[in-house]
C-alpha cells in the first residue's frame, strides 16, 4: 500500500516537472501540484535536470551565455547579496544570515520555503515566478544570477529540496550540514562554493557597511541582516526595530487620506518617522513584465535627528536624492529614481 503511494507521488512530481518545463509562460499563473515528499521532490528535480541536459545547440548556448553574462550585470561583485535579501523579503523572511566558511558562502533566510516552480526559475536566466505578483519586488528573473560574479555554482537547501545549479545543469544533491545553531529546520540556505581566498569576511563586512541600518527602512519583513563569524557570533549586523503602526487622516495632494505612521529605530539609536499612504497608481503607466496594481503605497522615512542624505528605495535603496529624507515606493524603479532626483 505504502509503495503504491510512493510511486504515485513520484510519478505526479515528474509529470509536474515536465509540465513546468514545457508550458511555463504559456498560461498565466501555471499551477502544478507540489511534490508530496522528499523522494518526490528529488524525482522532480532529477527530471528537470534531464530536461536541461537534453537541450542542444542554440538554445543551450543562449541559456549558458545569459547565465554567464549575469556575472557582469553589476560593477559590484557582491550585488548577489542584495539580490538574496530582496528574494528573502519577497518570501516574507524577517532575518537574513551570512556565514563564510572555508570555500563556501552560506546565505540563509527564514522566509517561505522553495517550491517546484522556484527550482525551474532558479535554473533559468530571465525566468521569474513573480510576474503576476504586483507586491513582490523581483521582476526580471536574473537578480540571483549575479552571484555568478562569485561562483558558477549555487546550491539551495530548503524544505524537501537540495539542489545544485551549474551552467544549465540542475542536480539533486545530499542535504547540507550547517554548523549547529546557524539556522532552524525551516530555514532556506543558499550555498555558494567559491575558490578559496577569492572572498573574505572583510569583503562582506565592508560591503554591508556601505548599506547601514537605514537600508532596511522600506522592507516590510526583513528587520535583521547579520554576518556571523566562525563561532556564530555577529561580526556585523543591520537591524531595525519597528514601533506599532497607527493610522491618521492627513491632507495630502488636496484630499484627506489615511496615512499609516510608525516610529522606527536602528540598533545605533537613530530614529525615523515612517509614513505610508496608499495612492492611485499613475494612469497609463504599466510595469513592464510585471503585474501593476491599481494602487501603490508611497512611504517616507523622516529622520528624527534632523535632515539626512536622501535615498530613493524600491524596498532596498536604489539611488541618492537631494531630498533630506528617504522615499520608498514599489513601482517602476527608473520612474521613481527620476522623480526622487527632482
Ligand atoms: N530564496 C529563494 N527561495 C525560493 N525561490 C527563490 C529564492 N530565490 C530566488 N528564488 C526563485 O528564483 C527566481 C529567480 O530569482 P531572481 O532573484 O534571479 O529573480 P526575481 O527575484 O524573480 O527577479 P529579479 O531579477 O528582479 O530579482 C525567483 O523568481 C524565485 O522563483
Ligand atoms: Mg530577485
- Which residues on neighbouring strands pair with residue 193, listed in sequence order? 104
**Residue 139 Cβ contacting ligand 1 at under 6 Å:** yes
Ligand 1 and 91: CB distance under 6 A: yes
Q: Which ranges of 91-200 does DSSP label H, i.e. alpha helix? A: 116-123
pLDDT in tens, the chain (342 residues): 555 555 699 999 999 999 999 999 898 888 999 999 999 999 999 999 999 999 999 999 999 999 999 888 898 999 999 999 999 999 999 999 999 999 999 999 999 999 999 999 999 999 999 988 878 888 899 999 999 999 999 999 999 999 999 988 999 999 999 999 999 999 999 999 999 888 999 999 999 998 889 999 999 999 999 999 999 999 999 999 999 999 999 887 788 889 999 999 998 899 999 999 988 777 777 777 777 787 888 899 999 998 888 999 988 888 898 999 999 987 654 454 455 444
> Is 213 a pocket residue for ligand 1 (Cβ < 6 Å)?
no
Ligand number nearest CA of 190 is 1
Q: Could you tell me if the CB of 120 is within 6 A of ligand 1?
A: no
* CA separation for the pair 89, 222 (Å, rounded): 6
Question: How far is the centre of ligand 2, averaged over its atoms, from the C-alpha of 160 (Å)?
Answer: 21
CATH numeric code, 2-239: 3.30.565
Q: Where are the domains of the chain?
A: 2-239, 243-341
- 3-state secondary structure labels for all residues of 273-332: EEEEEEEECCCCCCCCCCCCCCEEEEEEEEECCCCCCEEEEECEEEEEECCCCEEEECCC
Residue 232's φ and ψ, nearest 5 degrees, are 65, 15
Beta-carbon count within 10 A of 340 CB: 21
Q: Which residues are CB-contacts of 186 (< 8 A; sequence separation ≥ 6)?
A: 110, 113
Pocket test for ligand 1, best of 114, 125, 141, 288 (most atoms within 8 A of CB): 141
> What is the reported pLDDT for 341?
46
Q: What does R_g of the chain's alpha carbons equal in angstroms? A: 21
Alpha helices in 149-264 (DSSP H): 201-209
State the pTM of this model.
0.91
269: left (phi over 0), alpha (psi -120 to 50) or beta: left
Ligand 2 mean position, distance from CA 304 (Å): 32
Residue 26 DSSP label: T
Residue pair 165/155 in contact by the 8 Å Cβ criterion: yes
Strand partners, 189: 108, 157
- Angle between helices 2-23 and 116-123 in degrees, nearest 10: 40
Ligand 1 centroid, distance to 141 Cα (angstroms): 6
The Å distance, Cα 74 to ligand 2 centre, comes to 14
Strands 95-101 and 224-228: parallel
Q: Measuring CA to CA, how many Å separate 177 from each of 57, 98, 123, 283? A: 37, 15, 23, 51
**Which atom of ligand 1 is found nearest the CA of 141?**
19
| Nearest to 152, CA basis, from 178, 118, 125 | 125
How much distance in Å is there from the Cα of 87 to the middle of ligand 1? 6
DSSP-derived 3-state class of residue 270: coil
Q: Are 313 and 325 in contact (CB under 8 A)?
A: no
Q: What is the DSSP letter of 106?
A: E
Strand (E) or helix (H) holding 66: helix 57-69
Q: Which of 122, 176, 188, 192 to mutate to test the pocket of ligand 1 (most atoms within 8 A of CB)?
A: 122
Amino acid at each position: 500500500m505504502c509503495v503504491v503511494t510512493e510511486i504515485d507521488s513520484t510519478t505526479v512530481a515528474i509529470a509536474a516537472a515536465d509540465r513546468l518545463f514545457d508550458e511555463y509562460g504559456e498560461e498565466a499563473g501555471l499551477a502544478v501540484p507540489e511534490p508530496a515528499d522528499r523522494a518526490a521532490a528529488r524525482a522532480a528535480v532529477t527530471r528537470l535536470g534531464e530536461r536541461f541536459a537534453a537541450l542542444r545547440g542554440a538554445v543551450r548556448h543562449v541559456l549558458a551565455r545569459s547565465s554567464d553574462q549575469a556575472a557582469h550585470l553589476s560593477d559590484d561583485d557582491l550585488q548577489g547579496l542584495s539580490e538574496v535579501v530582496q528574494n528573502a523579503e519577497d518570501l516574507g523572511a524577517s532575518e537574513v544570515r551570512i556565514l563564510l566558511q572555508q570555500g563556501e558562502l552560506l546565505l540563509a533566510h527564514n522566509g517561505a520555503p522553495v517550491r517546484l516552480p522556484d527550482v525551474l526559475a532558479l535554473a533559468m536566466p530571465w525566468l521569474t515566478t513573480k510576474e503576476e505578483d504586483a507586491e513582490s519586488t523581483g521582476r526580471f528573473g536574473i537578480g540571483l544570477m549575479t552571484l555568478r560574479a562569485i561562483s558558477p555554482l549555487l546550491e539551495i537547501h530548503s524544505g524537501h529540496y537540495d539542489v545544485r545549479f551549474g551552467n544549465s545543469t540542475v542536480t539533486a544533491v545530499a542535504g547540507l550540514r550547517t554548523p549547529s545553531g546557524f539556522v532552524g529546520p525551516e530555514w532556506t540556505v543558499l550555498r555558494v562554493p567559491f575558490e578559496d581566498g577569492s572572498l573574505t569576511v572583510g569583503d562582506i563586512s565592508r560591503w554591508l557597511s556601505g548599506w547601514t541600518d537605514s537600508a532596511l527602512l522600506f522592507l516590510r519583513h526583513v528587520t535583521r541582516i547579520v554576518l556571523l563569524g566562525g563561532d556564530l557570533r555577529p561580526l556585523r549586523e543591520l537591524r531595525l526595530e519597528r514601533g506599532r503602526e497607527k493610522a491618521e487622516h492627513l491632507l495630502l495632494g488636496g484630499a484627506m487620506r489615511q496615512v499609516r505612521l510608525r516610529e522606527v529605530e536602528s540598533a545605533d539609536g537613530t530614529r525615523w518617522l515612517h509614513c505610508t499612504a496608499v495612492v492611485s497608481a499613475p494612469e497609463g503607466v504599466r510595469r513592464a513584465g510585471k503585474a501593476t496594481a491599481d494602487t501603490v503605497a508611497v512611504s517616507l522615512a523622516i529622520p528624527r535627528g534632523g535632515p539626512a542624505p536622501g535615498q530613493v528605495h524600491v524596498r532596498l535603496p536604489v539611488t541618492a536624492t537631494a531630498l533630506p529624507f528617504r522615499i520608498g515606493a514599489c513601482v517602476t524603479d527608473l520612474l521613481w529614481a527620476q522623480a526622487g532626483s527632482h
